[in-house]
Structure 1
Amino acid sequence: MNTPRTTRRRGVVGVVWRDEQFLVIRRSQFVAAPGAYCFPGGGMEAGESEAEALAREIQEELGVAAILGPRLWASQTPWGVDLVWMQIELPAGVPLQLDPREVESYQWLGAEALYSHPELLASNRDFLDAWKQQVFHLDWRPA
Structure 2
Amino acid sequence: MDTRIGTPERDRAPGLAWRRISEVMTSPVRHVETSTTLGEALAEMVRDGLRHLVVTDEGGRCVGVLADRCVVAAWAAEPASLTYRRVSSVLDRTPAVVAADAAVMDAARLMRTECVDAVAVVDARGVAVGVVTGSDLVALLAR
TM-score tier by shorter-chain length is under 0.3
TM-score by length of 2: 0.27
More strand by share: 1
More helix by share: 2
Q: Which has the higher Rg, Structure 1 or Structure 2? A: 2
TM-score by length of 1: 0.27
